[in-house]
Structure 1
Amino acid sequence: MTVYLDYNATAPLRPAALAAMTDALATPGNASSVHGPGRRARRLIEAARDQVAALAGAEPAWITFTSGGTEANNMALKGLPATRVLVSAGEHDSVLQVVPEAERIPLTADGAVDLDALAAALKEAPAGTLVSVMLANNETGVLQPLSEVVALARGAGAWVHCDAVQAAGKIPFDMAALGVDLLTLSAHKLGGPQGTGALLARPELPLNPLLQGGGQERRRRAGTENLAGIAGFGAAAETAREEHSEMQKLVELRDHFEREIKVMAPDVKVFGVQAPRLPNTSCVALAGLSAETQLMALDLAGVAVSSGAACSSGKVQPSHVLTAMGASPQEAGAAIRVSLGWASTRDDIDRLLAAWGDLYRRSRAA
């Protein structure tokens, strides 16, 4: 049986999400119809909206359901009439590639956005400036200083977008308390179905829809809603909110992995270890042992981990995040990401360590 340790790519579907989706798939109504089946479909969508809002500390009316985090990021970055866009250098490609001309704010060696550089960039910010900084990095797990980012942006009169895809379900947060204007979520990162996400946006924003042709989602996203996906998203969000304390227990497993791999190979580098991190994420590298070699060997041993983000058509390539943190090409090309989740166990970590240890000894004997 495969040991699955790639939750930051996608989490296994939670039983509650599967049950909610099965129930929704048996509902024939279109949520825009006024008859009984249509009204039932509408109730399922609005119940899910409440569940997602509760997870994110937001008002249900702020939520627009989308096809995933990528679409939500596109909505945020293309929907606002921004005159200038600032993004952290560690953002996901679904932010970086949406506005390729955006100014990139560097990262510190610990993986956090450089606040001094952001402050300097905001000194003469024109009206309509948009700042986009994620809540937690998908590769290193490093938590970004959002309260400071928001304070700097507010001082310059700028909007703030936060990609919270990796943080949701792993740490508690409150969109209202964060003070951001827009926030992105994705269902499959927290145990919901793939192909469903949400953009949370304050209603006063001049946000133009990407998709037109219908009045769905308060006219912010046209098209018949993905009823089963949204229902599953809601159920996963509710379960994740109830189990936030369980996620904190993953710190013990993550630290056990990092401690033991350092015993086997003292030269292993753990990225972001000095910074606040998600409880489930570890990014490690041993220069000279390529990520591709590690992934293939671990896969053959029945252990699934990843290298960087899982949005590059299966390609293994050096991480732009680690490069922005000052990692050498050798380190960036050797990094693997271990990400735990709701079904992870100590035995999973021990099997990973055994398989990695075998690879390490073979590499040194060659």
Structure 2
Amino acid sequence: MPSSTAAVSGKKPLNRNSFAAYLIKMLHLPYSSLDRDRPLIKIPFNVFVTGMVLLPVSGLLLSLFISIVYHFEDANYTHCHVANYLPSISAAISRVPELYIWRFCIGLHSAPRFLLAATYLAFYRVRFAARLPELLLSWLAFACNLAENCALLLLTYVASTEIYTVHKAGFLTFIVSSQLYMLMTCRLWYVIKSHYVSKEEVISYRWKVRLLLFNLSCCGAAAYFFRRHNKHCEAGVYTFFALFEYLVVFSNMAFHTTSIMDFAQRREDEARQRGKKGRNPDKKKEGGRSMQSEKRARAGWRDEGRLEEDAGRRRAGTVWKVKGSRRADRMEAVCDTLGHGWLCVTTLQWENCFLTG
């Protein structure tokens, strides 16, 4: 009876194999290759970095304001009972509600910082694919960036009024790792500036050097006034230490803001690049070669495995390309996406950028 009903209706009965294939198709439909390539989150890179930097800036300014207005005596207390007019950052973030405000802002700030560190590492791995010293230096810079962020979390969630030695160790680690990171970054961008003609990258390098020198100068001045305060206990000296401590932190935040100039490009470049990719898809050329092989032949990607600068994609993201390297091709696609002013997080791009890059 079921067979006759299927014959009358004109539909083939579902056997076990076809039903299993149908279920697999239905389950995998949202995760097809086209859906995996589609961005899940698309944020303008300048908005991403600006929001990331504004979190600690606003948290610190609000904590300082509350400390000076409502907790002036407690926040400006010194061990030798001399006059002081500005609280240190450790004193400003160690009382309620300043403690909760600062922890909330740094907690939201830390996750994008880790993502930005991984983005820089992927960027450097493409730029310095065949330059071993700079590639090793980029890994060291990545390690210092992670250490800086972890030390910031440590000194944030362990206040000076709770465990002073742990807070002090976190603060010193933050200062040392941040300055080492800034120094290594300036060195890497000096190499990039020497081989690249992008106006944004030249400006970014110059600002990085200025902020590094300013940060080192303020750190030296803060160390001098801190030592002088502990040795002589002069009135007002600790105020100068607190002032230069603020400048050290703000210059560090400004240094990380220069990533806007490192990655953010105009949307017109992205549209122009997409327009170039959309033209002439998979047409056969004369001589039997496909369009893809023709492009590779013109670009010279298979010449003796040597390195070559691709002048046609200067504003897209890469300087050096390893000819014949499929891994470099995949990494280039991710860095192109980052280089056009958008932070795109997709399943496939995340895998290529941070797992197989």
TM-score scaled by structure 1? 0.27
Greater share of residues in helix:
2
TM-score scaled by structure 2? 0.27
Q: Which of the two has higher C-alpha Rg?
A: 2
Greater share of residues in strand:
1
